[in-house]
Amino acid sequence: MRSRSSISPGWTLLLVTTLLVCIVAAPTFGQMPDDGVITFEDTVQVMVAAPTSLIATDHKYDDGEKIDLQWVPSIDDLPGIGTVVGYRIYRQDDGGVAEVIANLPAKANHYRDENTELGHTYIYSVAALTDGAEFMSNLTESISPEREWIDFSKRYLFLIALLVGGAVIYFIEIARRGKKLFVRKIAGLEAVDDAVGRATEMGRPILFIPGIQDMDDVQTLAGLTILGRISKTIADYDTEIFMPVSRSLVMTAGREIIKSSYQTAGRPEKYSDNMVTYITDEQFGYVAAVDGIMVREKPATVFLLGAFFAESLILAETGNYIGAIQIAGTARPAQLPFFIAACDFTLIGEELFAASAYLSEDPKALGSLKGQDVGKAVAMVIIVVGVLAATMGQAWDISSMNSLVDILKTIFSTS
Amino acid sequence: MEHFAVWVAAFLTLGIVSFLYKDNPWYKLSEAIFVGISAGYWFVVLFWDNIYGKFWNGIFPEELIDSAGNVVTREPDYWLLVGAVLGTLMLLRLIPKIGWISRWPLAFIIGCTSGLYLINYFSSNMMRQVEATIMPLVGHWVLDPATSQNAFSAFSGADIFSNLVLVIGTFTGLVYFYFSKEHRGAFGGTAKVGIFFIMITFGASFGYTVMSRMSLLIGRADFLLFDWLGLVR
């Protein structure tokens, strides 16, 4: 007869198994793994599997400031169950204390540490998070970020830039040898001489507005290049020009350009620094001043060439109101509609950049423009071939076409 | 004091708006105040941000105290001296005899800007555009979850139209901006299609931007009617 106080073998087995599970699971079961103290509250948490196969690799083609982590998410990180609420990344820097560097949502399986330093050694670990507990993965091997001097991921960009650059050099050489390079007429630029002539006949000044950006904007550079050609005509015709600017560097560059044009025209004594005046860096303060100048000085011609923002329509509409002939140009798509609505001629995007070559007929500028056209021709051909190949390859499942599309996408991919 | 500031702001706002009638002394006064204050404001901002904040603090970094109370020292960044030298050279134009030296920093800025933007523009305006345009027009192969095998899935009519707009718009737009050939015959016709696409885009952009400008107008009207006159609650 069995005693009532004795424990059956089945219960004994269950008790021993539970104890063993608690002992084995304890290191990954604690609420705060770094304090080493396991509390009763920890042991009532739902237990989930830790992430596995954690590996850390040096990020390729960087300056030694990135390390990539990849892991297989916890097998309990399943849709709808929701026991795993996220992942926590720990990092140990040069044998120091492990610190949390990121918290990621559930399902995450990779992370890029972008705050590493050259010469340091790192060890990582990833913990699966539940409501109140963490389940740590294995530790990674020690890893140090490395610096690569050449970014080979941009090799195709380099090759295509080399192709276009080579075409530019080729056409510059052709132009230098005296061969006439054809460039189609650009309507807005054909009107430049007429606009300057009109101001001369009317005895009124010309207003040149180079936008509100600094010399680090390529549109400002393009506008100033056109200013070089316009100011030569102005110096030849002995017309008055006024150029209010909102950036000090643009003022300096504008003065240099106009001064040089007057010297070339043989009239250096006619040049004055007052032709180019700084107003203010403040966008609408500048606009208020330029609007005032327009209605008071009543220029016969207004050039708006450069980078413009919300002030574009205010300036162009005021120029329209005073009856000036207006030639505008910018590469900002949001502002071009206003110029088209309010100005007589508008240089759209690329035309602004082509303008300098067209106006100057300088071999370097013309060669550069023709070289860029080679780039555009290549792009057009690639688009036609790529779209046809992609459409035929997908519609009739032609593997060679799909391979061609993959190759083209790889070449033109910049990521 | 706050009430006074609201009155000043309302006075200047109406002064600027009076330009819609014609140029007048009220507008001239508002304009002069706006330009003068903003020029002074930007001088102060640029001085404290750049000359003091970046240059001075970079060359003579102050010690910082972290959250644990430890003193953190920083290394001086002597590369900033290059910028300081170039900036100083710019000021030499105030001395007519050696003013020509101020062209050097200008040449440096223009050269660096051109070089830097060449790759950025080339990458974003050409490479990415071409990559994004290479696409199947009518359908593609996708994994069918039911059979776990790839199957051809035709695009909807709207998707095909969208793809055609993207491909034709990009191609004809490129033709329009091709400067080495006169716009005549089939090439001219294609360029004309390109400019149609561009103008439709501008029309949409015009409407969108006008709406955002309306919000600015509403902002000023709200200030006048609510903050100043207290008519609207």
**Predicted pLDDT of residue B63:** 81
**Predicted pLDDT of residue A7:** 45
Same domain? A259 vs A355: yes
Using an 8 Å Cβ cutoff, are A243 and A223 in contact? no
Using an 8 Å Cβ cutoff, are B167 and B159 in contact? no
Same domain? A332 vs A261: yes
Give the bridge partners for B154, in sequence order: B139
Which is more confident, A238 or A15? A238
Instruction: With CB atoms and an 8 Å threshold, state whether B106 touches A256.
Output: yes
Q: Is the pLDDT of residue A187 over 90?
A: no
Same domain? A131 vs A244: no
Same domain? A122 vs A234: no
Interface test mutation site (partner A, options B108, B131, B198, max chain A beta carbons within 10 A): B131
Tokens for B99, please give them. Answer: 């003013």
Of B175, B183, B203, the CB nearest to A337: B203
Determine which of A199-208, B23-32, B100-109 has the lowest per-residue pLDDT on average: B100-109
Query: Using 50, 70 and 90 to split pLDDT, how confident is the model at A82?
Result: low
**Predicted pLDDT of residue B29:** 97
**Predicted pLDDT of residue A39:** 44
Hey, is the C-beta of B192 within 8 angstroms of any chain A C-beta? no
Q: Rounding to the nearest 10 degrees, give the CA dihedral for residues A183, A243, A307, B181.
A: -10
| Exposed/middle/buried for residue A264 (C-beta within 10 Å: 0-12, 13-18, 19+) | middle
Using an 8 Å Cβ cutoff, are A318 and A295 in contact? yes
Whether residue A190 is contained in a domain is answered as: yes
Hey, is the C-beta of B175 within 8 angstroms of any chain A C-beta? yes
CATH number at residue A123: 2.60.40.10
**Predicted pLDDT of residue B119:** 84
Whether residue A300 is contained in a domain is answered as: yes
Phi-psi region of A33 (alpha: psi -120 to 50; beta: other; left: phi over 0): alpha
| Average confidence score pLDDT of chain B | 91
**Across A339-357, average pLDDT:** 90
Whether residue A239 is contained in a domain is answered as: yes
Q: Is the pLDDT of residue A13 over 50?
A: no
What is the reported pTM? 0.76
Which is more confident, B74 or A22? B74
Pick the closest to residue A331 from A219, A227, A221 (CA basis). A219
Hey, is the C-beta of B47 within 8 angstroms of any chain A C-beta? no
Q: Which amino acid is at B139?
A: G
Of A295, A335, A336, the CB nearest to B23: A295
Q: Which amino acid is at A34?
A: D
Same domain? A188 vs A84: no
Q: Which of A313, A329, A361 is the last residue of a domain?
A: A361
**Across A117-133, average pLDDT:** 92
CA-to-CA separations, A294 to A22, A359, B87, in angstroms, rounded: 84, 26, 33
Number of domains in chain A: 2
Q: What is the pLDDT of residues A255-286, one digit of tens each?
A: 999 999 999 999 999 999 999 999 999 999 99
Cα B173–A168–A221 angle (5° rounding)?
Answer: 70
- Maximal C-alpha separation, chain B: 83
CATH number at residue A303: 3.40.50
CA distance A243 to A300: 14
Determine which of A62-66, A202-206, A363-367, A371-375 has the lowest per-residue pLDDT on average: A363-367
Same domain? A115 vs A199: no
**Across A318-333, average pLDDT:** 95
Same domain? A113 vs A249: no
Same domain? A123 vs A263: no
CA distance A176 to A159: 25
Hey, is the C-beta of B203 within 8 angstroms of any chain A C-beta? yes
Whether residue A156 is contained in a domain is answered as: no
User: What letter would DSSP give residue A143?
Assistant: B
Calculate what percentage of chain A has a pLDDT beyond 90. Answer: 66
| Average confidence score pLDDT of chain A | 87
Q: What is the pLDDT of residues B119-176, one digit of tens each?
A: 888 888 889 999 999 999 999 988 887 887 888 889 999 999 999 999 999 999 999 9
Calculate what percentage of chain B has a pLDDT beyond 70. Answer: 99
Sign of CA dihedral A169, A171, A174, A175: negative
Q: Is the pLDDT of residue A42 over 60?
A: no
Domain carrying residue A313: 181-361
Pick the closest to residue A212 from A166, A114, A293, A278 (CA basis). A278
Same domain? A86 vs A224: no
Whether residue A174 is contained in a domain is answered as: no
Q: How far is A276 from chain B (nearest CA, A)?
A: 15
